[in-house]
Structure formats: structure tokens, C-alpha cells
Amino acid sequence: MDLDLEPYRRELTAYCYRMTGSFHEAEDLTQDVMLRAWHARDRYDPARASLRTWLYRIATNVCLSALENGARRPLPSGLGAPSDDPGAPLTPALDVPWLQPFPDARFDQGARTDLRLALVAAIQSLPPRQRAVLLLREVLELSAAEVAHQLDTTVAAVNSALQRARAAVAHVGPAEEVGDPGDPETRATVQRYVQAFEAADVPALVRLLTDDAVLEMPPVPLWYRGREDYGRFIARVFAMRGPGWSMRPLTANGQPALAAYAPEPGGGHALHTLQVLTVTRGLVAANVVFTDPRVLASFDLPLRIEDRDDRSSPPR
């Protein structure tokens, strides 16, 4: 039997990402799913399930197997209390399998609220089978009976797991409060943030923050909460790396994001971080700053830009 599996690759990658919290692992797992489905194509029965449902059954089993011995992927804010020392050593914790961002542009995901970093981080706190139930029911909108068949369990067990999963992630808050990258108010906020950052204007930047704004920087386990500590840390960054940064807009996890380029002594700018912003009612409520070279590479960002480069143009 000939099956056209490629149209499902993008959504399967997003599903595996939500399950594992790792974009790189999601790509590998999706490839495994495609190979398994291709080898099992003669056993697929369209009378019993749609091709999409069948693929998600394979993907769920692949993800659950991968998660059997794996540690959950957190953000720094999920590991302990915030720091009040903006001068604390920036020592990376390389033994922690940190949550990774999702490069929207590579998969045409657009502004998907179910890919938000905070939600994916919350999902990582769930046991693997609860993750699957939540995603299959809430995101993919399969029926309880279909999910029970996917997981070889009962409808009652699925409903119970869903209730527990919903309660565990309820603190993330309603998705409609988070600004869409295409929303004019959100875009204006991000543009003002860029202008303040490029001008090294810490007071202007702080005015764009919510009172309890969060700044975290995996793989450094430190994180900060509140305008004052956020601003003090950014002031430290400018003191260390100098002013004259260049920022390029993009999106990640259905959220506005910025590729930050630090000035180099001989001219030009070198890729430094990827900053994923959560904008709420015209203010920045959170900024997750990624420095892992593998994460930066997944966004196809140029490693260096010249001073004459158009700063308003997003990276490819």
C-alpha cells in the first residue's frame, strides 16, 4: 500500500516536541515515526482509523518509549527560587536537559498558543502518559475513546488522567492573555524593547516590563523576577559586552522572539542569544534567553552580521 506520509511530518514534529520539550529530539523521533509507519504500511487498515490517527498512535508509542528513562526538561524557573544577585556567576548547568524553543519559521506553525514555552514547560512536569492524554485530547481534539485506543486503556482512565493533567497546568493561565506576534500592540511593544536594548537604555527597557517580569537564561540555572532585578542584570550585560547591540525579530513557540547580536571590537556583530518574549497587555512579562549553540543553529541564524545589515529584516 502506498501512503503519503510527508504532509504529516510538521504536525508530528510539533507533537513530539510538546511531548519531549526538545526540538532536536522531536526531529529524530519524527523520523523514527515515519520509518516505522512506512515499514508497517501494509498493516494499516483505513477502515479502523484515519491515517492521521494511526500515525499519532505510532508517534505516541515512540515518544513514550523515549521518555521511559529520560529526565524532564525544565526552565530555570522550574528548579528553584529566583536570584536577587544580578552579579551571580553565570555558570551553566550542562547536566540539566533544558527545555528548548521551537523554530516556527521552519515548520510554518504560525502563532500556535499550544506551543507557548510556559505551556510546554508545564507539560514537561507531567508523567509521560498524562502528557499524551492532555495533548491528544486538548490539542489534537481526539475523543476519549480514541485516546483510550491509542494508549490501550479505558475511557475512564483517560478522563481521570486528563483531569489531573489539566489541574497541573492550570497555573499557566489563559492563552488569550498572551500577545500574538502579529498583534499591532504586541509588535509595538517588541519594537520599543528592541529600540531600548539597542540604545542600551535600561530605564526605558524596564518601563516595558510587568511588575513581576521574569528573566531566565538556560543553561544558566539562575533566573530573576521583577523589574528591578531584571534591569540590574541587563545593566550588567551592557557593562560586560558594551552597548551597540543589534536585534533581529523572528518568532518561536508562537511568541515574538529576538536574535540578539553583540558588538565585536573590530566591527560588526556576533550572534549571542535568542530571546523568546511573552508579551501581556502591551508589556513584557517574561524573557527566556537561550545561548546553546545547537538551539541557535536550529533557527538558521547568521552567526555574524555587518553594521550595514538591515536590522529590520528578519533572518531567513
Q: For residue range 136-185, what is the model confidence (pLDDT) as tens digits?
A: 999 889 999 999 999 999 999 999 999 999 999 988 766 667 888 999 99
CB of 74 closer than 8 Å to CB of 99: yes
Residues above pLDDT 70, as percent of the chain = 94
Residue 29 CA to chain centroid, in angstroms?
Answer: 17
Single out the residue of 252, 211, 262 nearest to residue 117, CA to CA: 252
Rounded CA gap, 34 and 29, in Å?
A: 9
Mean pLDDT computed over every residue of the chain: 92
CATH 3.10.450.50 fits 178-305, yes or no: yes
Task: Give the model's pLDDT for residue 35.
Answer: 96
Q: How confident is the model at residue 313 (pLDDT cuts 50, 70, 90)?
A: very low
CB of 223 closer than 8 Å to CB of 206: no
Per-residue pLDDT, averaged over 34-62, amounts to 94
By 3-state DSSP, what share of the chain in percent is helix, strand and coil, each rounded to 5?
Answer: 50, 15, 35
The beta-strand segments (E) located in the chain are 209-217, 220-225, 246-252, 255-263, 269-280, 283-290, 304-305
Architecture of domain 6-83+98-172: Up-down Bundle (1.20)
For the segment 280-306, what is each residue's pLDDT rounded down to a tens digit?
A: 999 999 999 999 999 999 999 999 998
Task: Give the model's pLDDT for residue 109.
Answer: 55
Task: Give the residue, 70 or 139, on which the prediction is more confident.
Answer: 139
Task: Give the model's pLDDT for residue 2.
Answer: 77
Q: Domain-by-domain residue ranges, the chain?
A: 6-83+98-172, 178-305
pLDDT > 50? residue 268: yes
Per-residue pLDDT, averaged over 129-139, amounts to 95
Rounded CA gap, 76 and 223, in Å?
A: 6
Same CATH fold, 178-305 and 6-83+98-172? no
Tell me the helices (H) and strands (E) count for the chain, helix number first.
11, 7
Task: Give the model's pLDDT for residue 315.
Answer: 43
Looking at residue 148, the DSSP 8-state letter turns out to be: H
